[in-house]
Amino acid sequence: MTNAWVYILRCADDSYYTGSTTDLEKRLAEHQSGEGGDWTRRRLPVKLVFAQEMPDSDQAFQIERQVKGWSRPKKEALIAENWDLLRWLAKKPRFRK
């Protein structure tokens, strides 16, 4: 099996783009050159702010889909590797104390 990556880019408009790939360097170059997704093409330049290696592309894709559904604060906690905040944000609001 081939290792894969889940990554988050910060776009020029301060939005985030989450993706997965088996070749991180190549994919980043594609995003920077405008050959990535539509989202990043309209928001250049982009900067890599988070990358996590995964055992295979299936798992990387699953994590990508999960992170795409997260709120901005939750993504920022992941980027900052603030695991306590990430756990707190993962709770339903009524259970956050």
Give dist(CA 10, CA 8) in Å, integer: 7
* Mean pLDDT score, 48-57: 96
Per domain, the residue ranges of the chain are: 4-69
* Mean pLDDT score, 21-50: 93
**CATH fourth-level superfamily of 4-69:** GIY-YIG endonuclease (3.40.1440.10)
Phi, psi of 13 (to 5 degrees): -90, 10
Give dist(CA 60, CA 18) in Å, integer: 11
Q: How many CA atoms lie within 13 A of 70 on its CB side?
A: 24
Q: pTM for the complete prediction?
A: 0.91
pLDDT score of 1: 60
